[in-house]
Amino acid sequence: MNQTNLAKRMGATRGHVSQLLNGSRNMTLRTLADSCSALGKRPRLTFDAVTSGDSAQDFPGTAPEQQETNTMTVFIESIAIRRFRALSDLRLDGFGKVNLITGKNNAGKSTLLEAIRVLTTGGSLRTLYEILNDREELNADRDSEHVYSARDVAPICNLFHGFPELGAVGQGFSISATGDIPAQIRKIAVSMDWFARRADPDRKTYSYEPVQADLFDDEESFPALVLEMSARSRVVPMQRLNRRAYPIRPDPDAPQTPCVYLDPFSSRSTRELGPLWDAIALTEVEQEVVKALQVISDDIQAISVIGSDERGRGPRTAIAKSSRYAHRVPLRSLGDGVNRLFGIVLSLCNARDGVLLVDEIENGLHYSVQSDIWRAIFRLATDLNVQVFATSHSWDCVRAFQEAASESPLDGVLVRLSQLSDRVAATVFKEKDLEIVTRDHIEVR
């Protein structure tokens, strides 16, 4: 029997079977049983007692040293979000290393990813800018010289629950987490207030002082964000957010946790993915990208990104070496699924020792390859120490996630968000719960 026929009998891809046979994929008991069933055989296992002459090297899978190195960091074990966008008051406990977030439209899935993104980037102003810009919430107000009144609803109002007016008093949101996230960035509080600029001619410096919003007729006052984290505070005028995004300068002892976000539609151009490729090119993880792409297209042998961002040079383009063609081909010509997976795995490799956020992870991916993709994600999350948060509407994605989680030593957790009358509620499903969910087809999307 050839690999193609075996793959059909197992309901898997040829790439999956190829990796099983060449030893690059773990042979679990379930996979062994599926393989034997496809071959019309019955597996039989025997176990021998360990003798005093056997060394730990004879059993690498059970060596204490290896078990220690497989202990992964869970950066965020729980999170509390108050008055951030669609989430009035949400607390979530029990995150795992790999997490799938489900729920109906407008339940707050993307907002949850945004809250994690704001926290793990250390309150970066650039993150706030990108969140507003990605949702086209900055487009209506691009004039950096615009003079605001207390009755205006400016772009920054979209960050707060209920879309308050600029003159509203006491508006703000907070995000906090527990886990192995650095202590300096475990909590951020962001509020909105009015300020006036005060100059000190002797010191040739200036400062921002809070004023009442109803005084804007008497002096030059302006709305601003106040960002507080780890006993430090920064005032960011609204005009600066409109004109340009500046990252908050963290204290030297307040490191950010690496955080990579991938949008729902892989709308990133190769130009945007180029820096991510540059960061892993010619490293040990470059081959991991190729191995993952072989889940969908096992003819892919190598990947590179060519071109330059400099004016007058050719644009950056991802190219692939394929056994089906005598010459290299643009990666985008191999289909949406390959390019979606390229973005996911490239982002995962760049999130080493940090957090990966993927919105609507199943987009562009056929249901038949999703189990193998989740297996690759679990494996890379282990190897690279990455905590993964992904959203989905798809039952096929939920089923594939459960299959991969059951085969991995990492904790796979599903979180379902539900919109109640005035708040969002969360239900957490651990792996044993997930097994019942998929077996009994319990609705969790």
CA distance 86 to 443: 23
Among the residue ranges 54-63, 365-374, 399-408, the one predicted with the least confidence is 54-63
CA distance 286 to 282: 6
Q: What is the mean pLDDT of residues 258-268?
A: 80
Q: What is the full DSSP assignment across 318-362?
A: EEEEETT-SS-EEGGGG-HHHHHHHHHHHHHHHTTTSEEEESSTT
Q: Which residues of 288-306 are buried (b: 16+ CB within 10 A; e: fewer)?
A: bbbbbbbbbbbebeebebe
pLDDT surpassing 80 at residue 269 = no
Specify the pLDDT at position 29.
Answer: 59
CA distance 355 to 339: 21
CA distance 26 to 379: 10
Specify the pLDDT at position 67.
Answer: 39
Specify the pLDDT at position 101.
Answer: 97
Mean pLDDT, the chain, rounded, equals 80
Q: Quick check: 28 and 43 in contact, CB under 8 A?
A: no
Task: Report pLDDT digits (tens) over 45-54.
Answer: 665 555 555 4
Specify the pLDDT at position 232.
Answer: 80
Specify the pLDDT at position 63.
Answer: 39
Backbone angles phi, psi at 244, to 5 degrees: -165, 150
pLDDT surpassing 90 at residue 403 = yes
Task: Report pLDDT digits (tens) over 223-253.
Answer: 888 889 877 888 888 777 665 444 444 444 4
Q: What is the mean pLDDT of residues 390-412?
A: 93
List domains and CATH numbers for the chain.
Answer: 1-43 (no CATH), 141-252 (no CATH), 259-440 (3.40.50.300)
Residues in the chain, overall count: 445
H helical segments located in 39-82: 64-69
Backbone angles phi, psi at 205, to 5 degrees: -130, 175
Q: Quick check: 276 and 260 in contact, CB under 8 A?
A: yes
pLDDT surpassing 90 at residue 15 = no
Task: Determine which helix (DSSP H) or strand (DSSP E) holds 120, and give its type and residue range.
Answer: helix 109-120
Q: What is the mean pLDDT of residues 26-51?
A: 66
